[in-house]
Structure 1
Amino acid sequence: MDKNISKKKSGRQLSEDNYDKFVLWKATQSDDSLREMVNFKDGVINRGMIANGCEFGRAVLRQNPKVKKELLEWEDNLRVQGILPSKVVKKQPDNNEATILDQDSRLKSNTVLNCHALEVRIQELEAENDELRSKLSRLDGLNSSLLDIGWAPL
């Protein structure tokens, strides 16, 4: 029975292990993979995807102070770099008064999020367009070479 007790980790050790898992996972993420994980409703990285990638529960992201602080700082840094959209701040409703949904602010936040998604899509299409133009120029060169030696392409 003493062997089982000695093999169990303390809460502090589990906390450090989870922090190490998060830092390792964070280091393996590319800008494109992060853009795919963005929760546009809140302007943050999807917490479920982070937890799955780190192989721990979502609660670790809220309850482990080191992981929580590191994640929030990382997301702020990604916003500065333009990888994440601006964070959507949720209003806390008053306990005494019923709050009315402000349609204008919701439409504005949706517009900002849609704008970011469109900007990302434009960058992808421009890269694809450049690639296709380079392929076309190579094929034009091949076509002119074939014409020079007497072969007529179909």
Structure 2
Amino acid sequence: MANGQQKAQQNVDSFEVWKATQSDDDFLQIVHRGQLKRSEVAKAIGCGKSALTQNPILRESLENLETELRARGVLPPFTAESETVKSSPKEYDASQASRQLESRRLSQLEAENIELKAKVRALESRLERFGELSETLSEMGFMPR
């Protein structure tokens, strides 16, 4: 059984072998949002997706590969905006969860409102019909008990 460091090195070795056997067309097939799709890379080298971020050697090798692919024109180049987004972390918005809950609740209430309006319309039409029937019966002298 391999320990963590040995497994990490095995993943790096597997990545290097995989990288050497791929062509530009192979890389193009796994491009997603301007970078190599991490799940496909992990599947190809036989490791978990987390190894690509937690193993510093593997992470650096993958970043170097993507830089090399950008230089060769296989991957699209970074824009200035994507560089700033990558370097600055996203701020945590505490109210986002409550907004999502409120949005979900609002859509449920709107759906319920539409159903109830349809039910009210159906009942009003029935009431109108029975009101006319009751009026006709009272004019004829037949009053129901």
The TM-score range, normalised by the shorter chain, is 0.5 to 0.7
Q: CA deviation at 1:52?
A: 0.7
Deviations 1:73-110 (A, max 9, x none): 11001101101112462464334799xxxxxxxxxxxx
CA-based RMSD of the aligned residues comes to 2.1
Question: Cα gap change, 1:17/1:96 in structure 2, threshold over 3 Å: closer, same or farther?
Answer: closer
- Give the structure 2 partner of residue 53 of structure 1: 44
Question: Cα gap change, 1:96/1:33 in structure 2, threshold over 3 Å: closer, same or farther?
Answer: closer
| Corresponding residue to 1:21 among 10, 14, 37 | 14
In 1, Cα distance between equivalents of 2:17 and 2:91: 40
Question: Cα gap change, 1:12/1:97 in structure 2, threshold over 3 Å: closer, same or farther?
Answer: closer
Question: Across the two proteins, how many residue pairs are aligned to each other?
Answer: 89
| Corresponding residue to 1:93 among 90, 94, 118 | 90
Identity percentage of aligned residues: 33
Q: CA deviation at 1:10?
A: 1.2
| Corresponding residue to 1:65 among 43, 52, 56 | 56
Aligned partner letter, 1:23: E
Deviations 1:18-37 (A, max 9, x none): 11011111111110011111
- Give the structure 1 partner of residue 118 of structure 2: none
Unaligned runs of 5+ in 2: 96-145
Question: Cα gap change, 1:93/1:75 in structure 2, threshold over 3 Å: closer, same or farther?
Answer: same
- TM-score normalized by structure 2? 0.56
Contact 1:44 1:75 in 2 (8 A): yes
Whose radius of gyration is greater, 1 or 2? 2
Q: How does 1:73-92 map to 2 (within 5 A)?
A: 73-87=64-78, 89=82, 90=85, 92=89
Question: Cα gap change, 1:76/1:96 in structure 2, threshold over 3 Å: closer, same or farther?
Answer: same
- TM-score normalized by structure 1? 0.53
Question: Cα gap change, 1:16/1:96 in structure 2, threshold over 3 Å: closer, same or farther?
Answer: closer
- Give the structure 1 partner of residue 130 of structure 2: none
In 2, Cα distance between equivalents of 1:26 and 1:20: 10
Contact 1:25 1:54 in 2 (8 A): yes
Classify the secondary structure of the residue corresponding to 1:84: coil
